[in-house]
Copies of this chain bind each other. A is one copy, B any other.
Amino acid sequence: MAAIVEVSVIPVGTGNCSMGDLVAETLKTVKSEGVKFQLNAMGTNLEGNLDDLLGVARKMHEVCFEHGAQRAVTIIKIDDRRDKDLTMEYKVDSVLERAK
């Protein structure tokens, strides 16, 4: 069974309003872990085994500190369904279809 997890990492106190470079670094981490992902304007969605995904989220959080931040707020949202397999594509496509 796959879970879907959204991760948003917010560096605090860096003196830089832009977060794009940092988010790009977290995405490199996601890619190097080989986990299925979809980036959106407010976070990165991951799909797979929940424990694996939480491990990836933990590494994404750490990227903030590796790139100079002294504080970070990270939000992890888990959607975990055990009666049926969820995929990111299915969730999006089935809603778009029904909202036509």
A residues at B contact (CB < 8 Å): 4, 6, 8, 10-21, 23-25, 27-28, 31, 38-43, 45, 47, 50-51, 54, 58, 61, 65, 70-84, 88-89, 91-92, 94-96, 98-99
Find out whether the CB atom of A13 lies under 8 angstroms from the CB atom of B10. Answer: no
For this chain, the copies found in one complex come to 4
Main secondary structure of the interface of A (DSSP, over half): mixed
* B41→A42 contact, CB < 8 A: no
A65 to chain B: closest residue by CB: B82
Known: A13-B15, A40-B45, A71-B79. 9 other contacts (CB 8 A): A4-B41, A17-B81, A17-B84, A40-B43, A40-B92, A42-B43, A72-B80, A74-B77, A75-B77
- Which residues of the partner chain B approach A18 to less than 8 Å between Cβ atoms? 13
CA distance A79 to B74 in the complex (A): 7
Q: Are A73 and B10 in contact (CB under 8 A)?
A: yes
Known contacts A45-B42, A98-B20, A99-B31: does B83 contact A78 (CB below 8 Å)?
no
